[in-house]
Structure 1
Amino acid sequence: MVEQYDNLSETIVERKWKAPTQLGGEGPWVYEIGQQQETCSSVLEEFKESNANPVFCRCDTKQDFQWRIRNLPYPIETYQLSIDDDNSTITLRTTNKKKPPAYYQYEKELRKELLKTKPISGGDMPCASM
């Protein structure tokens, strides 16, 4: 186990474990607190998550456990945080609307049209492509 501790803020910055593999070799680091340094693979160099995405990290102190979210694109008033004790989940949502009102109207009309259509019943239908 390796642990990094910040003396100024009295917080644990990183805690990671390394367990041996089944054959006795060194296994990968398993991060309990903190995040693994991002490495770039030559094969997946073009495929990586955006650096504009929010970053979630755990930051524990002597008094409490904390989850920190960095790089939020909107003002803090735009977000709504809810905690569900029954399922042990924390959910962060945005309150802004993603679709324009005209699109909602289009979806409503499309649903009405789809309700008018009747499914074809009768098993497999012959393919007339030949």
Structure 2
Amino acid sequence: MASAWIEKLKKAQKTCMIQDGRRKIHFVFPDGTEMAEEYDIKSSELVLRKWRRRATLGVKESKWEFEVGEDLLARNVDSEGLLESAANPIFARKDTLSSYQWRIRNLPYSIETYNVTVEPENRTITVRTTNKKYFKKISIPDMDRVQFPLQQSALSIAHANNTLIVTYKKPKEILQMEKEIQEEFKKLKASKDGDVDCTPS
């Protein structure tokens, strides 16, 4: 399944540019779905990934859905234009090279309060608190795309500055796949001042 995902990326129409220390790549798949990714140039760390599904006929362009990183423009404003409470938990995925990582801010409870478990049958990670103040199911689309099973042993948590940090260590197969994808990206021509087709150099 990993090779199938790599092939899908290869076949997508791509444009890329280097800006603000990031390699920005925009993919358009045959079904019209778009994916935009941003990688740190120095570390090759994934900073942002967002998706936009093809809009249905007669509907204005659909919104971007963030898989990694945050939509800073829309984070605090809902569809009615109302501001969210600054005290509400804020959930965002921020990966490292070796792990998938989620940060849930505005959770002041001590680390003993959190029960974080892998549910293999649902392919999710569940975060719950013993005081029943917070509950969240987390999926890992990267693992779903290649149908890799989730393991409790890969999971760890930390808590600091009112933020719960949930970390899932990437399996070696994912690390190898990401290495192959980065090698493909390095073959692409990138503009430093505008979008160009990413054709192999």
Give the structure-1-normalised TM-score.
0.52
Q: CA deviation at 1:58?
A: 1.6
Deviation, structure 1 residue 4: 2.5
Which protein has greater RCO, CA pairs closer than 8 Å, 6+ apart? Answer: 2
Q: Please point out which of 98, 110, 130 is paired with 1:75.
A: 110
Question: How do 1:30-109 and structure 2 match up within 5 A?
Answer: 30-36=65-71, 37-38=73-74, 40=77, 43-45=80-82, 48-96=83-131
Q: 1:81 offset after TM fit, Å?
A: 1.2
2:78–2:84 contact (8 Å) kept in structure 1: no
The structure whose Rg is larger is: 1
Indicate which of 47, 51, 65 corresponds to 1:17: 51
* Secondary structure, aligned partner of 1:96: coil
| Amino acid of the structure 2 residue aligned with 1:34 | G
User: What is the CA-CA distance between 1:55 and the residue it aligns to?
Assistant: 1.8
C-alpha distance 8-53 of structure 1, shift in aligned 2 (>3 A): farther
* CA deviation after TM superposition for structure 1 residue 5, in Å: 2.6
CA RMSD of aligned residues (A): 3.4
> TM-score, normalised to structure 2's length?
0.37
Gaps of 5+ in 1: 99-130
> Is the contact made by 1:10 and 1:61 (CA closer than 8 Å) also made in structure 2?
no
Identity %: 47
- Secondary structure of 1:86's aligned partner: coil
- Count of aligned positions: 96
Q: Which amino acid aligns with 2:89?
A: P
- Once the two structures are TM-superposed, the CA of residue 54 in structure 1 deviates from its matched residue by 1.8
Give me the whole-angstrom Cα distance separating, in 2, the residues matched to 1:82 and 1:42: 32
Q: Does the C-alpha gap of structure 1 residues 67 and 20 become closer, same or farther in structure 2, counting only changes over 3 Å?
A: same
Q: Which ranges in structure 2 are unaligned for 5 or more consecutive residues?
A: 1-25, 27-35, 134-201
Shift of 1:43: 4.7
